[in-house]
Structure 1
Amino acid sequence: MRQVGDRRVFSVEDVTGRLARMFEDLRSFWVEAELQDLRPARTQMRFTLRGEHVLEASMNGIVFERLEHRPRDGAQVQAYGRIEFWRGRAQLSMRVEKLELAGEGLLRARVDALRAVLEAEGLLAPGRKVRPPLLPRRIGLVTSVDGAARDDVLTNVWARFPGADVALVSVPVQGDAAPALIARALRHLDGLDGVDVIVIARGGGSLEDLMAFNSETVCRAVAATRTPVVSAVGHERDVTLCDLVADVRVSTPTAAAAAVVPSREALDAHLADSAAAITRGLVRAGARARIDVDRRSTDLVRALRARGDLGRDRVDRLAPRLRGGLERVAARAPAAVDDRAGRLERAVAARRDAAVRRVDGAAAMLHLLSPRRTVARGYAIVRDADDASVIGSAGDVAEGRRIVIEMRDGAVPARAEAPA
Structure 2
Amino acid sequence: MPAQTTAESPWPVRVVALKIGEWVNRLGEIWVDGQIAQLTRRPGMPTQFLTLRDPDANISLSVTCPRGVLGDEVAEGSRVVVHARPDFWIERGTLSLRASEIRQVGLGQLLARLEQLRKLLAAEGLFAADRKRRLPFLPRTIGLITGRASAAERDVVENARRRLPGARFRIENVATQGPSAVTEVVEALQRLDADSAVDVIVIARGGGSIEDLLPFSNETLVRAVSAARTPVVSAIGHESDVPLLDHVADFAASTPTDAAKRIVPDLADELREVAGLRQRARDCVHRRLERERELMAGLPERMRHTVRARVGREQAETEQGRERIRRRLRGLLEAGGADLVHVRARVRALSPQATLDRGYAVVQLPDGTVLREASAASGTLRIRVARGEFEAVASAQ
Instruction: Provide TM-score, normalisation by structure 1.
Output: 0.41
* Larger helix percent: 1
TM-score normalized with structure 2 length: 0.43
